[in-house]
Amino acid sequence: MKRKEAMDKVKRAMLAMQRYPWEQGIASQAILALGDYELTFLMARDAALRQSHDGRLGTAFYRDDVAIMGDDYTVTDPAANGEAVLYVAKTTGDRLFKDAIQKQVDWLIKKAPRTSEGVLSHVITKKQVWVDSIFMAIPILSMTGHHREAITQIEGFKKILWDVDKKLFSHIWDDDLKEFEHKDFWGVGNGWAAVGIAKVIDSLPGDMLDEKKKLASFVRELIDVFLHYQRKDGLFHNIIDDQSTFIETNFAQMISYTIYSGVAGGWLDNEYLQHANKMREAAYEKVDEHGLVQGVCSSPTFAAPGTAVEGQAFFLLMEVAASKFDSDYIEPH
């Protein structure tokens, strides 16, 4: 399948999928990266219209005098919509979007539940720290000028979830029970961490060069460890260090995207491109005739290989990031 055809099909399949708040968010990030600004506006508009009374984007399913939540479980996931909403707010000046992004950031800064050490909880019902939140919530903090808070959160997540021996992130820490609910080194979870930190690096201002260098060094360290576990086909196992788990597609897309972004941003060496290219080639082999990226952690349980919005979105994000190194890149829309 040729590149433009693959991208068009993957995009169409993604837009046909039902979406949770974070899935709407990652889909809108992919659409924004593609340069489809009209569709970005429409997706951001719906996230803003479905904003809950406490500020979480894309979570209110009905609205009377009091918003009724469609998904009142998640703390950080809705913030994934922030990037598209922020873009539309800046480009249009529309009060709907300006108010929406301010409310979302206020939720994260002032209202969202945290651990005793100030690390954002992933869920409302209990104090749990999930590696997913490094992507869902931290980049939009930096993108809206809360750079120090973003870095503080990264350091907090690293302190809790990063295994100093394996040099990988565990998935879920229960701060109430003071134990891991899911200690395994989930591939996609480590992907969320790498991509989230990469986005923060790229959003930090020029006068925070030391902070950029420190974060970039950490991402390089992560990638080097990931490459140790890469299969000959370019992919990885669902649990990175457990070969008995299924072979998963999306983690490779996420790390390929991170590498392309890092090299383009000047904080990763060009030698990493060969690894990104291998992951990208492997991902292409997983796109079926319908444009579905197969073999990713499948929605809605993410416990088996299949398809998911995030698998579609990261294929597109990977391709846009790779386009900076492809002279024959063709805009897909």
Residue 154 belongs to domain with CATH number:
1.50.10.10
- Percent share of the chain, pLDDT over 90: 90
Whether pLDDT at 159 is above 60: yes
Q: Is residue 330 part of a domain?
A: no
Q: What is the pLDDT of residue 292?
A: 98
Domain range for 126 is 3-323
Which amino acid type is present at position 252? A
Q: Is residue 329 part of a domain?
A: no
Q: What is the pLDDT of residue 167?
A: 98
pLDDT in tens, 66-92: 444 444 579 999 999 999 999 999 999
Taking 3-state DSSP, the helix, strand and coil percentages for the chain, each rounded to the nearest 5, stand at: 55, 10, 35
Q: What is the pLDDT of residue 103?
A: 98
What is the rounded average pLDDT for all residues in the chain?
A: 94
Q: What is the pLDDT of residue 332?
A: 46
Q: Which residues pair with 67 in a beta bridge?
A: 63
Q: Point out the least confidently predicted range of 126-130, 239-243, 298-302.
A: 298-302
pLDDT in tens, 176-228: 999 999 999 999 999 999 999 999 999 999 999 999 999 999 999 999 999 99
Q: Is residue 65 part of a domain?
A: yes
What average pLDDT score do residues 311-330 get?
A: 86
Q: Is residue 195 part of a domain?
A: yes
Are 104 and 79 within 8 A, CB to CB? yes
pLDDT confidence of 130, banded at 50, 70, 90? Answer: very high
Q: What is the pLDDT of residue 142?
A: 98
Q: Where are the alpha helices (DSSP H) in the chain?
A: 3-16, 21-34, 37-49, 82-92, 95-106, 133-136, 138-143, 147-161, 187-203, 209-228, 250-265, 273-284, 309-322
Q: What is the pLDDT of residue 201?
A: 98
pLDDT confidence of 327, banded at 50, 70, 90? Answer: low
Q: Is residue 308 part of a domain?
A: yes
Q: Is residue 328 part of a domain?
A: no
Are 139 and 196 within 8 A, CB to CB? yes
Q: Is residue 37 part of a domain?
A: yes
The encoded tokens of residue 53 equal: 């009374």
| Statement: the pTM of the whole predicted model exceeds 0.75 | yes
Q: Is residue 112 part of a domain?
A: yes
What average pLDDT score do residues 243-264 get?
A: 98
What average pLDDT score do residues 154-169 get?
A: 98
Rounded to the nearest 10 degrees, how much is the dihedral formed by the CA atoms of 34, 328, 196, 301?
70
Whether pLDDT at 61 is above 80: no
Q: What is the pLDDT of residue 60?
A: 77
Whether pLDDT at 171 is above 80: yes
Nearest one of 260, 108, 109, 283 to 195, comparing CA atoms: 260
Number of domains in the chain: 1
